[in-house]
Amino acid sequence: MAEGLEVRELDSDGSSEELVLTPAQLLRSLEQAWLNEKFAPELLESKSEIVECVMEQLDHMESNLKRAKHGDLKVSIHRMEIERIRYVLSSYLRCRLVKIEKFFPHILEKEKSRAEGEPSILSPEEFAFAKEYMANTETYLKNVALKHMPPNLQKVDLLRLVPKPNLDSFVFLRVQERQENILVEPETDEQR
């Protein structure tokens, strides 16, 4: 019996709308988020609601399985499915962490200058991780090299030094529905 799960999604005009998703649709949207994150060059919007709902489903299923000790075959089938879902979830989160570690100053800068109604690109835990990573990197650089440098060279601007995500990189994309009037701009002469 597939029950509807409530996921709060931001509508196109910014107002929050509750979408009721079946667990199967939830898994589909987790997969979409995973594939998008994998193939995009920069960190995409954080899909914390999907992550939370999936974790809830997994915990719920795990506790059901703990109680039902009989029926070896059923239990093993459920366990296999749980492993598969866990793999997608971990891969998604790991992909995001790799990008956070790669582009941390730019991500934190973007988060600081974000407008009030805009969705966040980091979940609260990721935000804490990014800040800690930044602080640790600064301390590390200071202790290993900077404090031995002459006084006027002791500052380092991580925002300038760490490479930005390459938004001009080539990507593969798949069109889900027929779209008209999409214009792909060719390289202009100014860009050459």
Partner 1 sequence: MDPAEAEFLAEKELVTVIPNFSLDRIYLIGGDLGPFNPGLPVEVPLWLAVNLKQRQKCRLIPPEWMDAEKLEEIRDQERKEDTFTPMPSPYYMELTKLLLNYASDSIPKADEIRTLVKDTWDTRIAKLRLSADSFVRQQEAHAKLDNLTLMEINTTGTFLTQALDHMYKLRTNLQPAESAQSQDF
Please give the residue ranges that form the binding site for partner 1 (CB under 8 A).
1-2, 23-24, 27, 31, 38-39, 57-58, 61, 73-74, 77-78, 80-82, 84-85, 87, 166, 168-172, 184-187, 191-192
Taking the complex as a whole, the smallest distance from the CB of residue 182 to partner 1 amounts, in Å, to 10
Taking the complex as a whole, the smallest distance from the CB of residue 58 to partner 1 amounts, in Å, to 8
Taking the complex as a whole, the smallest distance from the CB of residue 7 to partner 1 amounts, in Å, to 15
Closer Cβ to partner 1, 64 or 143, answer by number: 64
Closer Cβ to partner 1, 115 or 184, answer by number: 184
Closer Cβ to partner 1, 10 or 82, answer by number: 82
Amino acid type, 39: F
Taking the complex as a whole, the smallest distance from the CB of residue 89 to partner 1 amounts, in Å, to 12
If one counts every other C-beta atom within 10 angstroms of the C-beta of residue 185, the result is 6
Taking the complex as a whole, the smallest distance from the CB of residue 84 to partner 1 amounts, in Å, to 7
Own/partner contacts of 157-166, CB < 8 Å, gap of 24 or more, are 158/104, 158/105, 158/134, 159/105, 159/106, 159/109, 162/102, 162/103, 162/104, 162/105, 162/106, 163/103, 164/103, 164/106, 165/41, 165/42, 165/43, 165/99, 165/102, 165/103, 165/106, 166/41
Closer Cβ to partner 1, 27 or 130, answer by number: 27
Taking the complex as a whole, the smallest distance from the CB of residue 136 to partner 1 amounts, in Å, to 30
From residue 187, how far is each of 129, 166, 168, 191 by CA, in Å?
Answer: 38, 16, 11, 6
Closer Cβ to partner 1, 39 or 140, answer by number: 39
Q: Which residues contact 122 (CB under 8 A, 6 or more apart)?
A: 43, 46, 100, 107, 111, 130
Q: Rounded to an integer, what distance in angstroms lies between the CA atom of residue 110 and that of residue 99? A: 14
Closer Cβ to partner 1, 84 or 114, answer by number: 84
